[in-house]
Chains A and B, each alone.
Chain A
Amino acid sequence: MEQKIQKILRDLYKIDGTLRQHDGELHEIVARLIASRPDAVLDQRFHDALRQTIAQALRARSSPAVASTRQTNYFLTYMKKALYALIPASVGALAVLLAVVYGGKMKILSPTAPGAASPVFEQHQSIIARGNEAFGKLVASNSVSQAEQSGTSVGKAVGLGGGGSAPMAVSADSGKRSSMVAPVPGFAPEWTAYHYVYQGDPLMLADDTVEVLRRTKGAGNGAAVAAVLQGMNFGVADLKSFTSLQVQSFSLREDKEYGYTVDVNIPEGTVGIGQNYERWPYPKCSDEACYQNSRLKESDMLSDTAAIQIADTFVREHNLAQSDYGTPEIVDDWRVLYAQTTVKTDFYFPEAVNVLYPLTVNGKPVYDDSGRKVGMNITVDVRFKRVSGAYNIATQTYESSSYAAEKNADAILKILGQGGQYAGYDAQAPKIVDVTVGAPQTAYLKMWQYNEKGSNELLVPALVFPIAKSPEPYFWRKAVVIPLASELLQQTNSGGPIRTLEKSVPSVVVPPSQ
């Protein structure tokens, strides 16, 4: 502090040399002034978060004005009022709103339109750090009691895949807490439990905490969309007479052959594209012969390359977000089913195949708890060789928060052995098959956190153990995913294993009282 005092005093004496005679007093005054400066520190998390926010703002600013060739997903960067006078309102709205979804190809200019420069969704992925355990308990605190009281396993943070389990009812009075599914007449599968055996180097679990991500919702600029609509003449009502309007969601239809529907949910930050079925020339069968004739054959099915090409073209044409998604891959469930079908002529070939663009967040892939990659799904219609839908298109802005990490490798391997948290492993199953899994990679596990206000989408750091050796030629599972947040590992399938009832139990029907 002394050097600061001296500098200030030197400057002061240069201004007024007579003050030097009061050096002792002035020294004291300046010292006290400096000492009384509040001891403030710039919070590093805030610093980093703001840097990221600015980066986003700069990118948003750059998109239309600076990089004229770059297409963006920002809404109504330019919009021309005059154009409204030339086109019917409904077409104008479609054009405007498609500009929201598809971004930038349609440049309608208007320097005066309210909200014209406001993006509806943030295009780029970002993560803003929050405090420790900022999302509350990852597992709903009352989940167990709810399940126990209601007899159903609901109300807790759960994964997407359900571990391959069927919808089930948990017997509230079962001492073994096993879940039962009703037997199907003529179908008596052998109950097999799969035990996952890790073969790899010892797990290194050095981190004390993991950064859990929560996808940000409610950040969409519904007001900007509302502002545009308010500028339009709806004839029967004046939208301008309302204030603080926010558009929540909207649906649009392309009124043309092979047209699409576009659904935008602004609070959720999602866009879904589907078929406008009325304008797709599907065969309209009313008898069995027609139906049989119109069934797809194996020769109709698209090759993986062809399906991906069709999907890629659609993604490019409509400028769907690509930067956060990896190389597309085919979800080949139908092939697995076809291979397992004994009477091939009975097999129903699907009308659409799925192309997955795997999501990457923070440089890591995202999985559901059944071991499948999560991402943007493009469905390709096999009959018409066109994209029939695009789903799981969502904003990629997240908050992050630290949670205690699981450091006990044995605890992780124990859950891995059971096939994950929700696999419902049955150690008493008549047949247990070992499945070898290999060295894990780090990834995110996508989960849902339910609370009183709704649900949150969480990405929890996880280890993904790939199936190294399948027990069957077409084993349904590709990997086992174990979250690394210790809190989540305390949550297991309280319903226990799922077993088939040995025989039907007739239901008791109580006649209504007279």
Chain B
Amino acid sequence: MYGRSAGRAKSIIMTHQCMELDERTIIRRIQAGDFDDFHHLYDAYARRIYLFIYYRTYHKETAEDLTSEAFLKAFRGIGSFDAAKGTFGAWLYRIARNVVIDHYRTAHPTVDMESIWDLSTDDDVAQEVDVRQDLDRVRGYLKDLKPEQRSVIIMRVWDELSYQEIADITGKSVPSLKMMFSRAIAQLRRDLPLGMLLLALWRVYH
């Protein structure tokens, strides 16, 4: 199991490294007005960005709309992307993040990214019925966490972003994110319902 995990991680890294090399070339070309290879970039990030947005909206059509908006903003503004300041991926995620914030801000002017968790379960947010139950359950687990702790957990566990990537997107430092994550998990353990705790202990010893 461990080997598979490591292998996959390596493959992601390799893919990422290859992509980084290609990305720079592709981005330079796009910035110079040659768009023939843009689809490589798009294909590499479309699914990830869509899921990133979906996990924060829980609504297919909304997620598609916001994904479109994020990509169009990104490619229209790609001239302003500076590879020296970070990866294209982090830049794109930041755009997606801002698009989601803007989406919620139309109804909630003062919202920030961390608070979206609460808003996304409001009645005014259209949700797919089959998602609601899962959402309610997760909401139950995470309800006592601070918004920024919930945010880092979702980015780490659901979005499968590395701490460095989360740092690039959020502007927080890697050590602080790691600390935030570990404290959040520790708090979840402390708040774990007794039944769940017993189940976990039973699994450890059997």
**B4 contacts chain A at the CB level, 8 A cutoff:** yes
Contact flags B45-88 to A (C-beta < 8 A → 1, else 0) = 01100110011001010011001100110011000000000000
- How far, in whole Å, are A50 and B33 apart by their CA atoms in the complex? 20
* Contact indicator A30/B157 (Cβ below 8 Å): yes
* Contact indicator B1/A24 (Cβ below 8 Å): no
Query: Which residues of A are found within 8 Å of B67, using beta-carbon distances?
Result: 46, 50
* Contact indicator B157/A34 (Cβ below 8 Å): yes
- How far, in whole Å, are A279 and B165 apart by their CA atoms in the complex? 67
Classify chain A's interface size: 35 or more
Within 8 A of B (CB), among A17-65: 19, 22-30, 32-34, 36-38, 40, 42-43, 46-47, 50-51, 53-55, 57-59, 61-62, 65
* Contact indicator B55/A3 (Cβ below 8 Å): no
Query: Which residues of A are found within 8 Å of B43, using beta-carbon distances?
Result: 51
**A66 contacts chain B at the CB level, 8 A cutoff:** yes
Classify chain B's interface size: 35 or more
* Contact indicator B185/A19 (Cβ below 8 Å): yes
**B107 contacts chain A at the CB level, 8 A cutoff:** no
* Contact indicator A53/B55 (Cβ below 8 Å): no
* Contact indicator B42/A54 (Cβ below 8 Å): yes
* Contact indicator A54/B134 (Cβ below 8 Å): no
- How far, in whole Å, are A57 and B38 apart by their CA atoms in the complex? 11
Chain A: interface secondary structure?
Answer: helix
**B14 contacts chain A at the CB level, 8 A cutoff:** no
Partner of A66, one of B33, B58, B182, B204: B33
* Contact indicator A54/B38 (Cβ below 8 Å): yes
Query: Which residues of A are found within 8 Å of B138, using beta-carbon distances?
Result: 33, 36
Residue in A closest to B138 when the chains form the complex, CB atoms: A36
Within 8 A of A (CB), among B173-206: 178-179, 181-182, 185-186, 188-189, 192, 196-197, 199-201, 203-204
- How far, in whole Å, are A23 and B189 apart by their CA atoms in the complex? 10
B171 to chain A, nearest CB (A): 20
Query: Which residues of B are found within 8 Å of A28, using beta-carbon distances?
Result: 192, 196, 199-200, 203
* Contact indicator B204/A23 (Cβ below 8 Å): yes
* Contact indicator A29/B35 (Cβ below 8 Å): no
Query: Which residues of A are found within 8 Å of B158, using beta-carbon distances?
Result: 33-34, 37
Partner of B51, one of A30, A42, A51: A42
Query: Which residues of B are found within 8 Å of A295, using beta-carbon distances?
Result: none
* Contact indicator B185/A55 (Cβ below 8 Å): no
* Contact indicator B46/A16 (Cβ below 8 Å): no
Query: Which residues of B are found within 8 Å of A40, using beta-carbon distances?
Result: 50-51, 54-55, 60, 63
**B125 contacts chain A at the CB level, 8 A cutoff:** no
**A204 contacts chain B at the CB level, 8 A cutoff:** no
* Contact indicator B157/A57 (Cβ below 8 Å): no
* Contact indicator B179/A15 (Cβ below 8 Å): yes
**A8 contacts chain B at the CB level, 8 A cutoff:** yes
- How far, in whole Å, are A21 and B199 apart by their CA atoms in the complex? 16
* Contact indicator B1/A27 (Cβ below 8 Å): no
**A6 contacts chain B at the CB level, 8 A cutoff:** yes
- How far, in whole Å, are A314 and B47 apart by their CA atoms in the complex? 46
Query: Which residues of A are found within 8 Å of B197, using beta-carbon distances?
Result: 25
* Contact indicator A38/B134 (Cβ below 8 Å): yes
Query: Which residues of A are found within 8 Å of B137, using beta-carbon distances?
Result: 36
Contact of A43 with B1 at beta-carbon distance under 8 Å, contacts A34-B157, A37-B55, A50-B68 already known:
no
Residue in A closest to B54 when the chains form the complex, CB atoms: A40
Contact of A22 with B75 at beta-carbon distance under 8 Å, contacts A3-B2, A3-B4, A6-B1 already known:
no
Residue in A closest to B180 when the chains form the complex, CB atoms: A15
- How far, in whole Å, are A51 and B158 apart by their CA atoms in the complex? 25
Partner of B5, one of A4, A53, A54, A57: A4
**A12 contacts chain B at the CB level, 8 A cutoff:** yes
**A2 contacts chain B at the CB level, 8 A cutoff:** yes
* Contact indicator A29/B135 (Cβ below 8 Å): no
Residue in A closest to B64 when the chains form the complex, CB atoms: A46
Q: Which residues of A approach B to under 8 Å, CB–CB?
A: 2-4, 6-8, 11-12, 15-16, 19, 22-30, 32-34, 36-38, 40, 42-43, 46-47, 50-51, 53-55, 57-59, 61-62, 65-67
Return 6 A-B CB contacts under 8 Å, by A number: A7-B9, A19-B186, A27-B200, A51-B43, A54-B38, A67-B33
- Counting from the closest, the 3 A-B pairs by CB-CB distance are A66-B33, A3-B5, A24-B204
Given A50-B64, A55-B35: 20 more A-B contacts, CB < 8 Å? A3-B5, A4-B5, A8-B156, A15-B178, A15-B182, A19-B182, A25-B192, A25-B196, A28-B200, A29-B189, A32-B141, A33-B138, A33-B141, A42-B50, A42-B51, A50-B68, A58-B38, A61-B75, A65-B33, A66-B33
